[in-house]
Structure 1
Amino acid sequence: MEQLSTANTLFALDLFLALNENNPTGNIFISPFSISSAMAMVFLGTKGNSAAQLSKAFHFDAVEDIHSRFQSLNAQMNKQGAPYILKLANRLYGEKTYNFLPEFLDSTQKMYGADLASVDFQHASEDARKAINQWVKGQTEGKIPELLAAGVVDSMTKLVLVNAITSRETGRRNS
């Protein structure tokens, strides 16, 4: 777990420095864990140069068995009795005419809890966008009412990987 924590910390610092460069006096609110978790799902579907670039950018190269470590961390963060609730909602929305590799779909479901919902981006991209937003709104108890703005997806879209994170205190304190 320590390797994954170190990789996430290094990525968080890289991301903060890059974002801060363009807005040095503004506030920045991000979840590096959510971003790296989503990109780890993308990493499942990459090979060659793309995999090498993602691995370097997210410091995954220093982590053995990255996907099972994310799976363990997700389970640990959502354990019963914690003084907080951290809900990570993952889902894939894929063009219904596209054939995704079964291994990719199995791994995203097993490691990240991300099921595939088939949608018609080709002929009804706006309906697909609305369905995605409705799912996110439900998963986040209305805290994220519109993840995707109009025009973000179109007939060329093949896959949308959704990753939304919300948190709140439960009122319990561990002693």
Structure 2
Amino acid sequence: MRIKHVACMYIVVFVTAVILTSCSMINWASIAGSKLPPPAEKVDERLVDANIEFSFKLFNQLIGDQVKDNVFICPASVSLALSMTYNGADGETKEAMAQALQLQNMSIEDVNKANADLLTILQNPDPDIKVSIANSIWIREGVSFYKEFLDVNKRFYNAYIEHLNFSSPQAPNIINNWIKECTNGRIDKVIEDPLTKRFSKG
């Protein structure tokens, strides 16, 4: 049996930003105006091992004792979104994220390089499977981010970065339209409430 397509999405929410990882059939690289690099020959085995362990722990946390229901998750989306966020962490937060992602034995530089290699392989699996992965960072207007953080996410994760007025009633629609486009219409709505109800400025 051949897998024809995959559609999955994960959101990491901040007071100041929304980070999204979305995967679907479409060729996001053409939309973003960039050309994907050729597939890497291999991915750092440390990241592979970390992702496997993280995936099982994530699955166990999500299902808990509710084994009677089917659960569909995309661990790669979760890991990528959190890895993007990890680039902005420091101190105890960074240590906690490294432990959660099972990345204690890798430098942030190695993590980014390995994820970039993984992205090229996932998006070029074989001629009969078409997968595109889109990453984005939505920044509250008026909030400044370190240029290095944004540059790293552009370079290694091909992240689409957009400033957005979180107070605008149209803000959820803008993000939802991006999600819909990135998943080829398979996921058309994730955020319903105005962002001002979900985020506080404190």
The answer to whether TM tops 0.5 is yes
Q: Which runs of 5+ in 1 are unaligned?
A: 159-175
Note the C-alpha offset of 1:81.
Answer: 4.4
Which of 68, 81, 84 is 1:25 aligned to? 68
Percent identity, please. Answer: 25
Per the TM alignment, residue 115 of structure 1 is displaced from its structure 2 partner at its CA by 2.3
The question of 1:154 aligning with 2:199 is answered no
Q: Tell me which protein shows more helix as a share of its residues.
A: 1
- Cα offset for 1:24? 2.1
Deviation at 1:19, TM superposition (A): 1.6
1:52 maps to 95
TM-score, normalised by the number of residues in structure 2 = 0.72
1:5-154 mapped onto 2 (5 Å cutoff): 5-64=48-107, 65-79=110-124, 81-121=126-166, 123-124=167-168, 126-151=169-194, 153-154=195-196
Q: For the structure 1 residues 81 and 12, does the alpha-carbon distance in structure 2 shift closer, same or farther, using more than 3 Å as the test?
A: closer
Question: In the aligned structure 1, how far is the partner of 2:94 from the partner of 2:158?
Answer: 21
TM-superposed CA distance for 1:96, in Å, is 1.4
Residues 85/13 of structure 1: CA separation in 2 closer, same or farther (3 Å cut): same
Aligned amino acid, residue 108 of structure 1: N
TM norm structure 1: 0.82
Per-residue deviation, residues 134-168 of structure 1 (Å, max 9, x unmatched): 111111110110122224x217748xxxxxxxxxx
Q: 2:196 aligns to what SS in structure 1?
A: coil
Q: For the residues of structure 1 that align with 2:125 and 2:70, how far apart are their CA atoms? A: 33
Unaligned segments of structure 2, at least 5 residues: 1-43
Consecutive aligned runs of 4 or more in structure 1 exceeding 2 Å deviation: 79-83, 155-158
